[in-house]
Amino acid sequence: MQVHKFLLSWFCWLALLLSHYACSESWSAAPDTSAKKPLQQYFLTFPPYWENSNDKFSGVHYRLAKALYKHANLDVEFVNVPYSRMQQQATQGDIAFINYGEVDGVYTNDILHVCVPPTEITLRVYYLDETLPEIINIEDFDEQNLIILHGLPLGNYESLKTNKSISFMRPRSVKAAIKGLVTGRGDYFIVFDNMMINAQQHFFPLNSYQLKSYPLYTLLGYPITTPKNFIGGKEICQKVTTSYRQLIEAGVVDEKHKILTSDLDRFLQ
């Protein structure tokens, strides 16, 4: 029910944003670069991509955005806001950049300039015992032994967390979760695949175990987009895109996973 309400809110906002864009499309003035006030990126928290711990921001997309803005010589202030405020400010054309999650049935390019290609985010189930069945349906996880990282959102599978028939291990690191699989504390480890890059080689270099997995669902996460009703937005978005391409060539950004190369193995430590 929560997910449906969230998507409905997105549809209402997108419709409003489209109407504002239609009214403001004729504006082509570039932003006032002489003004001292920084541009703003509003973001919604979505660990491990965007995180906020006592106003200390982090996350793989946050770090990517910081590196891109620095390279593009853009002064950007990050603001973590609730969805309602992002919705209000975006429709008024006040925000230069937002993060964005794909919504079925909505053409992103109709309402947003996409500054950085989206990251494909897949929630996967990892396991070691090859005799275990591949469970997909939420109700079929009843009475299973699951490992989920503390504080990690599960999206469409969030209701698993309140299922009292499930035995949970809730470690704070991937390393501890893998240990839980090896020692039998849990049978299935549910986590985003971008947190498991090179996990087989890292944890089992001698192939003592074979880490198997299957997907539950996939979404597209856009780290940096610009609402089309933001005056001069197309130009500043293009600057970010140019920096993104240049940092790929320089080896700073990993083109496949669309994150900083320094973040590729971050979650395995």
On whether both 114 and 140 belong to a single domain, the answer is no
Full residue range of the structural domain in which residue 202 is found? 123-216
Q: What is the pLDDT of residue 87?
A: 78
pLDDT in tens, 158-170: 999 999 999 999 9
Computed over every residue of the chain, the mean pLDDT equals 87
Q: Is a pLDDT exceeding 60 seen at residue 25?
A: no
Residues 12 and 33 in one domain: yes
At residue 11, the pLDDT reads 42
Q: Is the pLDDT assigned to residue 211 strictly greater than 50? A: yes
- pTM for this entry: 0.82
User: Are 42 and 107 in a shared domain?
Assistant: yes
Structure tokens given for 182 = 């090896």
Which CATH number do you get for residue 66? 3.40.190.10
- Identify whether residues 87 and 153 lie together within a single domain: no
Inter-CA distances, 1 with 12, 143, 148, 249, Å: 17, 23, 21, 44
Number of domains comprising the chain: 2
pLDDT digits (tens, 9 = 90+) for 82-125: 888 887 877 888 899 999 887 666 667 788 999 999 999 999 99
**Nearest residue to 223 via CA among 260, 264, 250:** 260
* Residue 43 near residue 78 (C-beta atoms within 8 A): yes
pLDDT digits (tens, 9 = 90+) for 169-180: 999 999 999 999
197 and 225 in a single domain? The answer is no
Residue ranges in 151-211 assigned as alpha helix (H):
174-183, 199-203
One domain for residues 187 and 56: no
In this prediction, residue 10 carries a pLDDT of 44
Tell me what pLDDT residue 106 has: 63
The predicted structure's pLDDT at residue 89 = 79
DSSP H/E element including 208:
none
Mean pLDDT value of segment 181-198: 96
Q: Both 155 and 253 in a single domain?
A: no
> Are residue 66 and residue 45 in the same domain, yes or no?
yes
Give yes or no: residues 167 and 133 share one domain: yes
Determine the pLDDT at residue 36.
66
If asked whether residues 127 and 254 sit together in one domain, one would say no
Give me the pLDDT at residue 32, please.
Answer: 52
Mark whether 176 and 54 lie in a shared domain: no
Q: Both 165 and 191 in a single domain?
A: yes
- Non-local CB neighbours of 216 within 8 Å, separated by 6+ positions: 122, 123, 124, 125, 136, 156, 157, 190
